[in-house]
Amino acid sequence: MILSDTKILAEMRRGRIVIRPFRRAGLGTNSYDVHLGPYLAVYTEGALDARADNPVEEFRIPEGGVVLVPGQLYLGVTEEYTETHGFVPFLEGKSSVGRLGIDIHSTAGKGDEGFCNYWTLEMSVKLPVRVYAGMPVGQLIYFEISGPVARSYGNKPSAKYRTVSRHPTPSRMYLNFGKRPTRPRR
């Protein structure tokens, strides 16, 4: 079941859901609006390697916004830090953002119980569009879990995104292959 607005607030009081900063206006009927943080990053190599720590270039979104262009993957970050204990958070794009042709994630919309961090966004656009730091970009939806959780995300040895960061976090897929490989020389 999806948590309602009153249930989200009750679970925040209990400390099972944490949203910082929390804006009451961001609370919807059964979701909470998150905002685009101040940083974007782009990969600097033309071809990415799943076994490598691919380099990124990060930049701050200027006050006048930045135009995102089709064909480029942008890593963004939410302005909000969140914690979820005893529920499964899902991050979906806001319909107003989707109607501008902006996708905020390609595959990583589901969080894990015990996830405590900012959300990295995998942003792409269908047309050039200007975006601004602080704009509403997505909504968190919380699902109840059926049954006990044996191991929370923060306690999993394989959890690759536990280090709290206000900056976009590039893929850490390379950690699935064991040691940290280097990119092959061309």
Q: Which residues are catalytic?
A: 122
Helices (H), 15-139: 95-98
The residue among 82, 79, 96, 76 whose CA lies nearest residue 140 is: 82
SS3 25: helix
Q: Give the β-pairing of 74-84 and 129-131.
A: unpaired
Tokens of 128: 């050039």
DSSP 110: B
* 3-class secondary structure per residue, 24-74: HHHECCCCEEEEECCEEEEECCCCCCCCCCCCEEEEECCCCCEEECCCCCE
